[in-house]
Amino acid sequence: MNTIPLDSILNDAKNLLAETSSLAALEDWYLRYFSRERGELNLLTREIPKLPPAERKPFGQEVNRIKSVLQEHFDARKRELESVELSKKLLRERIDVTMPGRAIAPGHLHPLTRVLDEVIAVFAKLGYNVAEGPEVEDDWHNFTALNTPEDHPAREMQDTFYVETGAGARLLRTHTSPVQIRTMEQNQPPIRIIAPGRVYRRDTVTNRHYPIFHQIEGLVVDSRTNFADLKGTLTLAMQEIFGKDRKIRFRPSFFPFTEPSAEYDIQCICRGEGCRLCSRTGWLEIGGCGMVDPSVLQAVGYDPEQVQGFAFGLGAERIALLKYDIPDIRLIWENDLRFLRQF
């Protein structure tokens, strides 16, 4: 008769299994009983050959029964512990959806970008296309084709940085007017474009001058265009941008590439009272304009007897000053966030 207490082994194993409180402890329990090498149940199997022959079979059967009972208990316990651990994990990783999120500070467009976008939108409504040209320009497009030959005194007013001098001179463009020439060289009338872009000029920095600034050039060429069209177009555009209450005036002026020429002013941010920005005149000049000079049309191969045109150039920073009541152009370039946040 063997003396191995199978019943108490089964009971102990069940009790220990019930006490396991984690999947790690369960794993230890499993190894203790089921490990191939040292598992208690396998050790029992190894006892069989030592038993009297008559007892071997019932003992083996009993061991197998215990094995399958414990395997079932083990599987059940495993499911239990897994679900406990899962709920613990879910609890641990719970997301509090009521917690306020981290706000992303919304940025916004720079006042100058807004002005450029708005001016483009106004002229787009009038049927203008946007054209562009290089910031490093050659002498022909920046001056000569615009009726400003080499020794012309008007060049002096637009001194700039020359990248190359001499015959193939190249320079930082002093205005967006060269885009007129480039457009006419590549297209036939009718033409209706605006050309926004950056321009450079040797200039003393003041509250309304800066050596880098932006212009928006406009050019219309057609079989019949006249000064009234020019005046009407600019007046309409300025009213769209500044509102109808803001006063506009045209003053006779001179540009080599237009005849007749004018400059136009917008009532200053002081609304005519007189302030530092307008040097107490009550007005701020924002651009030049005029009827395209016949020699410019000839320079691009157009026949001045067949087509006429008008052109204008707007200072974008000046528009921003006037539109947003900014008293000094330097504020636009300093990029101080305390200033920019106000827009």
User: Which residues, numbered 167-186, are part of the site for ligand DAH (CB under 6 A)?
Assistant: 175, 177
The answer to whether 47 touches 53, Cβ cutoff 8 Å, is no
For 120, how many CA atoms within 13 A lie in the half-sphere containing its CB?
Answer: 14
Ramachandran region, residue 178 (left: φ > 0; alpha: ψ -120 to 50; beta: rest)? alpha
Min. distance of Cβ 311 from ligand DAH in angstroms? 3
Joined tokens for residue 178: 């060269």
Which among 121-129, 185-193, 284-292, 329-337 is the span making contact with ligand DAH, rule CB under 6 A?
Answer: 284-292
Give the HSE-up count for residue 186: Cα atoms under 13 Å, Cβ half-sphere: 10
* Residues 6+ away with beta carbon under 8 Å from 234: 248, 264, 289, 312
296 binds ligand DAH (CB under 6 A): no
Distance, in Å, from the CA atom of 74 to the CA atom of 81, rounded to the nearest integer, reads 10
Residues contacting ligand DAH: total by CB under 6 A: 12
Binding span for ligand DAH by CB under 6 A among 6-14, 111-119, 283-291, 298-306:
283-291
- Decide: 197 and 132 in contact? Cβ < 8 Å: yes
Stretch that binds ligand DAH, among 65-73, 129-137, 287-295, 317-325 (CB under 6 A): 287-295
**133 part of the interface to ligand DAH, by CB under 6 A:** no
Residues 312-341, interacting with ligand DAH (CB under 6 A): 312-313
User: What is the closest distance, in whole angstroms, from the C-beta atom of residue 136 to ligand DAH in the complex?
Assistant: 17
Among 283, 290, 307, 317, binds ligand DAH (CB under 6 A): 290
Q: Site for ligand DAH (CB under 6 A): which residue of 145, 311, 316, 331?
A: 311
Specify the stretch interacting with ligand DAH by CB under 6 A; choose among 38-46, 120-128, 237-245, 308-316. 308-316
Q: Are 238 and 314 in contact (CB under 8 A)?
A: no
Per-residue DSSP letters for 131-170? ----SEEEHHHHTGGGT--TT-THHHHT---EEE-STT-E
Query: What is the binding site for ligand DAH (CB under 6 A)?
Result: 175, 177, 217, 255, 258, 261, 288-290, 311-313
